[in-house]
Amino acid sequence: MSSHVPLRRLKELARAMWRRSYAPYSRYRVGAALETESGAVFTGCNVENASYGLTICAERGALAAAVAQGHRSFRRLVVATEGDQAVAPCGACRQVLAEFGTRLEVHGIGTKENRRWTLQELIPEVFVLTDD
């Protein structure tokens, strides 16, 4: 059995990523911490661009960092935003995360509200390539 990182620690790491967020256009800072099944943690922040549509979300940044280091099994994702309410990953990030399975536990952390979902709940029907 691989070790779990305390949820409190994952939240701290996601919150800490606010400081790294590059969001001069929306001024909406997002941090993410993704725990692998093996107990490693990868973090990400949103990276905006003058060509707005090229913006990279915090969740996809964390996922890309993890995959680049050879990880493909994930247990928990914490998404931290500065608003009062907990925020779930955007639709594009849900699809990208679902590539690696929908059993992922997703935690949204706002300043006044925390919420928890499974990725399966957030994206019940995933696009998959079929060969017929």
- What Cα–Cα distance (Å) separates residue 84 from each residue in 31, 48, 62, 87? 15, 22, 23, 9
Pick the closer one to ligand THU by CB: 36 or 61: 61
Pick the closer one to ligand THU by CB: 39 or 91: 91
Pick the closer one to ligand THU by CB: 2 or 49: 49
| Whether 59 is catalytic | yes
In the complex, the residues that contact ligand THU under the rule CB under 6 A are 23, 26, 28, 30, 46, 48, 55, 57-59, 89-90, 93
Q: Please say whether the dihedral angle defined by the alpha carbons of residues 64, 108, 98 and 27, taken in this order, is positive or negative.
A: negative
Shortest Å, Cβ 84 to ligand THU: 16
By the 8 A CB rule, do 43 and 62 touch?
Answer: yes
Catalytic residue among 37, 59, 99, 105: 59
- Sheet order of strands, 74-81 included: 41-45, 30-36, 74-81, 105-109, 114-118
Shortest Å, Cβ 55 to ligand THU: 5
Residues with active-site annotation: 59
